[in-house]
Each structure stands twice: as structure tokens, then as C-alpha cells.
């Protein structure tokens, strides 16, 4: 399981109960996980570091995830993104969406598909 990925992921999620288990799980696969609890924190991190992938909750306390996605695109064009949401009516044909609740294997599969890598 512990294989070096050299993949930097920004996980933008305000629900602490989701963050810890997912972070621990993905770190076991060698991913470097950074966490932001809000849009403001996410933009601060995006401006300091480059990310291979962003996992973005669409419902954050300080911003709409779609608006934040546009800002991230301006800062780091072409950054691969996975949206997470509890809103099963949300559709976006161009991005991977994980509907909550999702499993650890769901998120790993979404990362595989989005990065087109065998993990």
C-alpha cells in the first residue's frame, strides 16, 4: 500500500469527521495531503504551493465551491479537480463528482480516474 506517489493533493472540506479518515487513508498510499477548511484557506494554500489534484467540497461555510473552483483555475490553470457534495441534484459533466456519503475506496477510485494513474 505505501508506494511513493509524489502527488500533492489539496483537500478542501469543512467537515472534520470526513477529513481525518480520508487523510489517513490517502497518506497510506503515499499521497501528500493538505487540508483547507474554507475557501479563504484554500486560496492561501493554492497561492503558496502547486497541487496535482484538488478535492473540493461544493458547500463551504464562506463560499460556493463552484466559485472557488473558478478562482483555483485562475491561480493554477488545469489543476485536476474532484467535487464532493451531499446534493445529489448537482451535475457537472466535465468534472468527477463524489456524492456524500462515499467510501474510502470510492475516493481512491475517483483519484485514479482523475489522474489516469494506476494506484
**Tens of pLDDT, residues 15-69:** 999 999 999 999 999 999 999 999 999 999 999 999 999 999 999 999 998 899 9
Candidate from 2-6, 14-18, 60-64, 86-90 with smallest mean pLDDT: 2-6
Q: Per-domain residue ranges for the chain? A: 8-115
C-alpha cell at 42: 484554500
Quick check: 78 and 65 in contact, CB under 8 A?
no
Whether the pLDDT of residue 112 is over 90: the answer is yes
Q: Which fold has domain 8-115?
A: Rossmann fold (3.40.50)
Pairing of strands 53-57, 32-36: unpaired
Cα(39)–Cα(15) distance, integer angstroms: 13
Amino acid at each position: 500500500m505505501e508506494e511513493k506517489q509524489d502527488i500533492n493533493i489539496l483537500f478542501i472540506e469543512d467537515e472534520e469527521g470526513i477529513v481525518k479518515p480520508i487523510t489517513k487513508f490517502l497518506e497510506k498510499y503515499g499521497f501528500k495531503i493538505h487540508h483547507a477548511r474554507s475557501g479563504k484557506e484554500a486560496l492561501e494554500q493554492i497561492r503558496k504551493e502547486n497541487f496535482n489534484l484538488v478535492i473540493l467540497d461544493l458547500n463551504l461555510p464562506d463560499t460556493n465551491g463552484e466559485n472557488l473552483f473558478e478562482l483555483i483555475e485562475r491561480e493554477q490553470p488545469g489543476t485536476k479537480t474532484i467535487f464532493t457534495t451531499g446534493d445529489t441534484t448537482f451535475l457537472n459533466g466535465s468534472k468527477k463528482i463524489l456524492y456524500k456519503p462515499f467510501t474510502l475506496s470510492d475516493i481512491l477510485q475517483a483519484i485514479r480516474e482523475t489522474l489516469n494513474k494506476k494506484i
